[in-house]
Amino acid sequence: MRRLSGMARRRQAVTIKHVAADAGVSLQTVSRVVNKEPSVRPEMVARVQEAIDRLGYVPSIAAQRMGGSRSYLIVALNDRERTIADWRARQGTDWVDQMLLGGMLTCATYGYRMIVELVDTHSDHIARELMGAIAALQPDGVILTPPHSENPLIVDLLEAQRISFVRIGSRRAGAGFALTMDDERAARIATEHLIALGHERIGFIAGPPDYELSAWRVDGWRAAMADAGLADDLLASGDFGYASGQQAAVALLDAADPATAIIASNDQMALATLETCRDRKIVVPRDLSLISFDNTPIVRFTHPPLTAIDQPIAELAGRAVELIIAELGGREAPEQPIVLPAKLELRQSTAPRR
């Protein structure tokens, strides 16, 4: 055990100076190789990489910064109120988990690190909070998640600071990169699946209005219903929380001409709908078909497992990181908005209308 600890200490003692001396190059050259900068000649890259491998050198952020003015940090801003509420209720944070998975793995590929900061988009002090985080971390880029993506105060602040940033869940033109899942098409796919099963009374539980994607999903549902010549009068509002899902489900099931199928805008509201059906002895999918958004792990273990729109959250976060790094490298920006497709995962919660 003592020998292993000694080995770990010796490995940690290897610095960028040792690598530079071993390869016979400058500290800046080692830093440029570590940062995968394109300006280094291939033979020099090979020489430095051989020294890194031979010495067992692990690059540090301090060493990376020697190559220029970058911090090699990307900050992801997530909604504080909703994230903390989910943590405290122990209702699952798969959205955050998937964002970390995609963002951190992609950052690691390019020698970056990702840090998540929780910010309340409705706070009167949001500018001060955000400026404090920027001053402390000096990030090279920022990833905005809903509802921050559409907050003009945050967007204008980042633009004024000349920081590269990505707006996940946004289709608006303007500063930063607009990156989104095709929420409207996703809702249309879910609705068309139910129509193909013979359902005509299809209810929709919308998310909160401060998330623009909530309206896009409603638009997709309405468009699919209109194309099929069906009424779109079964719309209920929720806030992505479990309790709001219960209230919305009750409204749709108690309508004069009730729903035979329901699409919920996230998994929490879908789970609430499933529990409401169970309380009322409504059997899913025999009596009511149910589709969710998100496709978090829990929906695979419900009874029955839920058919769900799978959001490519990890892919969105990874793409956001790549966009920031590409812009820092001076590469041309792609056409916007940048859209990653969603897909419908079929399970046992949908069936032909009886």
Q: Are the beta carbons of 92 and 131 closer than 8 angstroms?
A: no
DSSP character for 122? T
The pTM of this model reads 0.75
Which CATH class, in words, describes the domain spanning 73-181+313-342?
alpha beta
Of 26, 13, 24, 11, the residue nearest 50 (C-alpha): 24
CA separation for the pair 315, 298 (Å, rounded): 20
Give the side-chain half-sphere CA count within 13 A for 189.
18
Inter-residue contact 280 to 254 (CB < 8 Å): no
Closest by CA position to 297, among listed 125, 95, 76: 95
Where in the chain are the domains? 2-65, 73-181+313-342, 183-311
Query: Quick one: CA torsion of 255, 224, 343, 199, rounded to 10 degrees?
Result: 50
CA distances from 166 to 86, 144, 266, 273, 297 (A): 24, 6, 23, 34, 27
Chunk the chain into consecutive blocks of 10 residues (it has 354) and report each block's average pLDDT, rounded to whole numbers: 41 75 87 75 88 79 56 87 74 75 91 87 76 85 88 88 91 88 94 98 95 93 98 96 95 97 95 96 97 89 94 91 91 86 94 92
Structure-token match 């830093």, residue found: 31
How would CATH label the architecture of 183-311?
A: 3-Layer(aba) Sandwich (3.40)
DSSP-derived secondary structure letter, 148: G
CA 270/CA 219 separation, integer angstroms: 19
Instruction: Answer whether 2-65 and 73-181+313-342 agree in fold.
Output: no
CATH topology of domain 2-65: 434 Repressor (Amino-terminal Domain) (1.10.260)
Cα distances (Å, whole numbers) of residue 30 to 36, 72, 110: 10, 15, 15
Gap between the Cα atoms of 57 and 290, Å rounded: 53
Across the strands, what pairs with 48? none
